Amino acid sequence: MASFADQTFQLGDFELASGPVLPQAQLGYRTLGNLRSDRSNLVLVPTPYGAWAQDQTWLMGTIFDPARWCLVVAGQFGNGRSSSPSNSQAGLPYGGWPSGHVDNVRAQRRLLEEVFAVESPALIYGWSMGAQQAYHWGVLEPERSQRLCCICGTARTTAHNRLFLLSLRSALTTDPTWNGERFVAPPERGLRSFALIYASWAASQAFYRQGGHRRLGYATVDDYVERSWLPAYRRHDPHDLLAMLDVWLACDVAKAAGLASGDAQADLAGALGRVRARTTVVACGQDLYFPPEDCAAEAALIPAARFETLESPLGHRAGNPRDSLPEQARLRQIVEQLCQD
């Protein structure tokens, strides 16, 4: 089974973990590569923030050998291709989209079972918000998760990461087109502030100091933001951008697992201690969102997890290096080691 076109999996009326029913829910996905007859080579790739399935196509042939693997790139709820505020009858309730990573995992499990007849993917590979979903798979579906590769992401949103996300939310919702519940017109001022914040965090200080934007073909930093970052977010309905932010803000595998002892660290340890998958956690030494210290602390809570560090001026984007061969080679090596028979 192979396809390079975006496809849609119809979930029907889908009850969310928070209680509401999402009418006629759907997952957007893309299949890359051929699924073996024994269905042993399927890799689930949950999408990161703001990504569509097509944005992860570069993984095949760079990180993954197309002769060996079948990748299923599954769009998370809220990304505009899967059920989202922009395309759902549920709309956007005040305070945020009512979905979370528990719902993403449940929907992805149905996709794999009902479309591909796969109950246990060979690997769940995720970067950033994709890593959050991979962690949730490991905790919520320990018997179905064989291997996890969690790149530049954490299983629980940290206090510092939360401040970054709140700054993005504020950038959008202080736009004059926001009426307290919805945008009444495109929030151009808010989107420009949003892109500026993202550009300043997603790459490291060294990236700009070394002229990384110029190597990508942009004469100035302002040009880089205007022609690269701003279009990346303009393509989305702003309500969808808020929806994904709210899921990121709420990310916590301990709460997802129903652990609420009052000791947050003990609950996190209890949740990650449930993971049975062979796990590799990858951090970037200059990631401003998910610094190595945060990633290493969580990796230490996962039984027998391996911790790896990428040293790259790309910062957070080192985990999604579409244009950088050294980081691609390192990630390919990490995946090959994780998937050795």
- pLDDT (tens digit, 9 = 90+) per residue, 258-269? 999 999 999 999
Nearest to 183, CA basis, from 229, 191, 51, 246: 191
Distance of CA 212 to the CA centre of its chain: 24
Burial label, 97 (beta-carbon count in 10 A; 0-12, 13-18, 19+): buried
Beta-ladder partners of 60: 64
Total residue length of the chain: 341
Residue 259 — φ and ψ, nearest 5°? -95, 125
> pLDDT tens digit string along 180-189?
989 999 999 9
The rounded distance, in Å, linking the Cα atoms of 219 and 232 is 19
Task: Please report, for residues 14, 274, 321, the alpha-carbon distance to residue 333 in angstroms, rounded to integers and kept in the order given.
Answer: 38, 27, 14
Q: Which two tokens stand for residue 220?
A: 């100035």
Residue 37 bears catalytic tag: no
Sheet holding 147-151, edge to edge: 7-15, 21-32, 70-74, 42-46, 123-127, 147-151, 278-284, 306-310
Q: Longest Cα pair distance anywhere in the chain, in angstroms?
A: 56
Distance of CA 209 to the CA centre of its chain: 27
Per-residue pLDDT at 91: 52
pTM over 0.85: yes
User: Which one from 82, 83, 128, 312 is the annotated catalytic residue?
Assistant: 128
Residue 261 bears catalytic tag: no
Q: Are 99 and 78 in contact (CB under 8 A)?
A: yes
Percent of the chain whose pLDDT exceeds 90: 91
User: Which one from 55, 103, 267, 287 is the annotated catalytic residue?
Assistant: 287
Residue 287 — φ and ψ, nearest 5°? -75, 120
Per-residue pLDDT at 92: 45
DSSP H/E element including 212: helix 212-215
Beta-ladder partners of 43: 71, 123
Per-residue pLDDT at 162 exceeds 70: yes
Distance of CA 195 to the CA centre of its chain: 18
**66: confidence class by pLDDT, cuts 50, 70, 90:** very high
Residue 287 bears catalytic tag: yes
Task: Please report, for residues 79, 93, 232, 239, 283, the alpha-carbon distance to residue 235 in angstroms, rounded to integers and kept in the order given.
Answer: 11, 22, 6, 12, 29
Beta-ladder partners of 307: 281
∠195-201-203 over CA atoms, to 5°? 105
Per-residue pLDDT at 294 exceeds 70: yes
Mean pLDDT over residues 12-33, rounded?
93
Beta strand 21-32 with 70-74 is antiparallel
Percent of the chain whose pLDDT exceeds 70: 96
